[in-house]
């Protein structure tokens, strides 16, 4: 396995971390209770502090994440990811999910159908819980079939998911995000 390096950086929601290998982004760590806890999460993933600074692709990701947390519509689809530590199924689901844009939502079931496993909504939910790249792979945009928020495994849980969806305009006030009507041809909702 290639060496994993990381760097912490300040965002609008707190100190985040990004780890990378020569193959791409290894993980994104959203803020924990303190910068020290955020750093410990990265260390547990086998990452080491970068002695020479991040490569250009990681610097670009820092800037994109900064823009995102300031509420700007940001696209992470071109950020290269290192899929070496995830299963083939999860990697396929993450690639599909990356097509869900800022302000859109999708259901676990629809994502399972797109992945070619129509009855694998729970497996998609588990993939979301294991997602090493929150925001870059926008697991916060995945909802339960009923339109309910479902879970969110990052620090802050569902409250953070709700905050991110509100920021993107996919959710208003305390209402759950709206899903398309019965006759819409897709389960993606766009603002």
**CATH code linked to domain 87-168:** 1.10.10.10
User: Active-site residues: which are they?
Assistant: 139
pLDDT at residue 118 is higher than 80: yes
Helical pair 88-97 and 121-130, crossing angle rounded to 10 deg: 90
Q: What are phi and psi of 33, to 5 degrees?
A: -65, -25
Q: How many CA atoms does the CB half-sphere of 49 hold within 13 Å?
A: 7
CA distance 48 to 50: 6
Average pLDDT over the chain reads: 89
115: tokens are 């992945």
116: tokens are 């070619």
17: tokens are 């971390």
pLDDT at residue 56 is higher than 60: yes
35: tokens are 């910068």
75 closest CA partner among 61, 54, 95: 61
Each domain of the chain, given as residue ranges in start order, spans 5-69, 87-168
pLDDT at residue 176 is higher than 80: no
CA distance 137 to 18: 13
pLDDT at residue 32 is higher than 90: yes
pLDDT at residue 190 is higher than 70: no
What pLDDT score does 151 carry?
A: 85
Residue 107: which residues within 8 A CB-CB, separation 6 or more?
Answer: 121, 142, 143, 144, 145, 179, 187
**Polymer length of the chain:** 191
First-to-final CA distance of the chain: 41
What pLDDT score does 117 carry?
A: 95
Q: What are phi and psi of 164, to 5 degrees?
A: -65, -45
CA distance 117 to 122: 11
Per-residue pLDDT reduced to its tens digit, 154-171? 888 899 999 999 999 998
Hey, which residues does 18 pair with through a beta bridge?
7, 28
- Model pTM score: 0.88
């Amino acid at each position: 396995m290639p060496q994993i390096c990381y760097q912490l950086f300040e965002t609008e929601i707190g100190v985040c971390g990004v780890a990378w290998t020569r193959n791409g982004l290894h993980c994104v760590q959203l803020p924990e209770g303190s910068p020290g806890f955020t750093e410990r999460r990265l260390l547990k993933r086998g990452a080491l502090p970068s002695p020479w600074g991040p490569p250009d692709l990681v610097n670009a990701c820092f800037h994109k994440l900064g823009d995102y947390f300031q509420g700007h519509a940001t696209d992470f689809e071109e950020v290269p990811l290192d899929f070496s530590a995830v299963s083939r199924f999860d990697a396929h689901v993450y690639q599909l999910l990356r097509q869900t844009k800022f302000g859109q939502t999708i259901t676990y079931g629809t994502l399972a159908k797109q992945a070619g496993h129509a009855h694998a909504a729970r497996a998609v939910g588990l993939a979301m819980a294991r997602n090493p790249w929150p925001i870059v792979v926008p697991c916060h945009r995945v909802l339960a079939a009923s339109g309910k928020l479902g879970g969110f495994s990052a620090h802050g849980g569902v409250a953070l998911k709700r905050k991110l969806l509100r920021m993107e305009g996919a959710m208003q006030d305390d209402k759950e995000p709206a899903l398309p009507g019965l006759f819409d041809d897709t389960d993606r909702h766009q603002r």
